[in-house]
Amino acid sequence: MSGKSFEALIPERRYEVASKITQRVVKKRETRPSISDALDQVFLHKWLGLPIFFAMLWAAFRWTFDASAPVSDAIDAFFSWLGEIAATVPNEVLASFLSDGLCGGLGFVLVFVGPIFFLFFALGLLEDSGYLARAAFLMDRLMHRFGMHGRSFICMLMGFGCNLPAIMSTRTIADEKDRLTTILVNPLMSCSARLPVYVVVAGAVMGQYASAAVFSMYVLGLALALMMALLFRRVLFGGEPSPFIMELPPYSKPLMRNVFIYMWERGVVFLKKAATILLAGALILWFLSTFPWGAGVENSYAGLLGHAIEPLLRPLGFDWRLAVALFFGFMAKEVVVEALGILYGVEEEEAVSAILANSITPLTGYAFMAFTLIYIPCLATIGIIRSETGSWRWTLFSVAYLLALAYIVSALIVALGHLLGFG
């Protein structure tokens, strides 16, 4: 049987029979290789394919931040102006609620509409051109080495947008072990909700290397997903992933209509979340950080919570404010940015960045970004894992292992950074 699985041999034999029949009945004229074939010689090259793929992702992220900067600045300026007007309300508590809770909270979230929509625009161009399908094909060999199905990479790519539809898309994976492995590692794919945290922290402490630091989070998430998949496959599930066969679409010029639809359908998820979960989170954070009234942020309910969990995170260099931000990040990752703004008592992204630049080191900031990347994305992700696995055991396992992994990786970053003299 040449060491191949029975499932792999069946489609292989079918293609062999089809090939023999085709040779008998079809006469081919000598033709020059098509443009699509020529491009595949480059994009699917054994050695050049992966570097080209990561270079394209890097270019997409770099363009995202540069192109979206004016949009973010305009939204930031608008909510700052609105907050100043709200602060003039005679009632002190109501003024704080409107200015800090409502305008400040929404402003901190909506300022990232630009980067998120522009990122989906870039990914839409890659998908409508036919390149993303080839990226999945290109990654199939690597995925098999780490015990994952080739189709898993398509699900993982979707995780760059949102982990919820990405986890739901694992229904297309027939083998239960392959599917469960993909579900467990998918939260490590950096969804758009983490992007605001990266932008603020990297912009504050990474200087000219901010874009590289943000890009590295996506690479780190992918690397960790592959390593954990290999571990799960060997320790929990065993066996080999099933074979992956897909038809590559022809290359085509992206249609702007399709790209804009792609961008809108995925970006509007963020807007809906901003109008519901994130607004609720902002108001809860405002209440916890404001009351008891007049006590000050450090002596507020949020301050007491932060000081209670700070000892656990102090070895990573995180103070009580960062601890509170991570705690509320369980609700949704965008809330981390809202929490920092409310806890620092400022209403602009630039003000938060300025405070972070003076209160944490680049090493601490990078460890904070890594922690944000790794631990469970949001409450909705927990719910969808429970729904797709049908098991609270696997759901709680995913929450626990992601928290432990976040702590271990962040601690390693800090320790290695100190050894290299970056402390």
Digit-coded pLDDT (tens) for 229-256: 989 988 887 666 666 666 677 888 888 9
Instruction: Give the integer Cα–Cα distance in Å for 285 and 302.
Output: 8
pLDDT of residue 362 exceeding 80, the answer is yes
* Helices 392-419, 210-232: inter-axial angle, 10-degree rounding: 130
| Residue located via tokens 């947008």 | 161
**Highest mean predicted confidence (pLDDT) among 53-62, 69-78, 135-144, 310-319:** 310-319
Tokens of 156: 């993982």
Entry pTM: 0.72
Structure confidence at residue 395 (pLDDT): 92
pLDDT of residue 112 exceeding 60, the answer is yes
Judge contact between 240 and 5, C-beta under 8 A: yes
- Which of 166-175, 206-215, 299-308 comes out lowest in average pLDDT? 166-175
Average pLDDT, the chain: 82
pLDDT of residue 141 exceeding 70, the answer is yes
Structure confidence at residue 147 (pLDDT): 75
Average pLDDT over residues 62-66: 77
| Residue located via tokens 């040779």 | 23
pLDDT of residue 129 exceeding 50, the answer is yes
Structure confidence at residue 240 (pLDDT): 64
Judge contact between 137 and 248, C-beta under 8 A: yes
pLDDT of residue 2 exceeding 60, the answer is no
Structure confidence at residue 30 (pLDDT): 61
Judge contact between 208 and 197, C-beta under 8 A: no
Q: How confident is the model at residue 32 (pLDDT cuts 50, 70, 90)?
A: low
Average pLDDT over residues 55-59: 82
Report the percentage of the chain scoring pLDDT > 90: 19
pLDDT of residue 336 exceeding 60, the answer is yes
pLDDT of residue 320 exceeding 50, the answer is yes
- Between the two ends of the chain, the Cα-to-Cα distance in Å is 56
Structure confidence at residue 29 (pLDDT): 66
- Which of 2-6, 140-144, 270-274 comes out lowest in average pLDDT? 2-6
Which of left, alpha, beta for 130 (phi over 0: left; psi -120 to 50: alpha)?
left
Give me the DSSP letters along 341-354: HHHHT--SHHHHHH
Q: How confident is the model at residue 262 (pLDDT cuts 50, 70, 90)?
A: confident
Q: How confident is the model at residue 397 (pLDDT cuts 50, 70, 90)?
A: very high
pLDDT of residue 87 exceeding 70, the answer is yes
Helices (H), 206-313: 210-232, 256-275, 277-290, 301-313
pLDDT of residue 67 exceeding 70, the answer is yes
**Prior bond of 315 cis (ω within 30°):** no
pLDDT of residue 78 exceeding 60, the answer is yes
Q: How confident is the model at residue 413 (pLDDT cuts 50, 70, 90)?
A: very high
Report the percentage of the chain scoring pLDDT > 70: 89
Number of alpha carbons in the 13 Å side-chain half-sphere of residue 293: 5
Judge contact between 153 and 123, C-beta under 8 A: no
Average pLDDT over residues 156-172: 75
Structure confidence at residue 260 (pLDDT): 92
Structure confidence at residue 315 (pLDDT): 93
Structure confidence at residue 1 (pLDDT): 44
Q: How confident is the model at residue 371 (pLDDT cuts 50, 70, 90)?
A: very high
pLDDT of residue 311 exceeding 80, the answer is yes
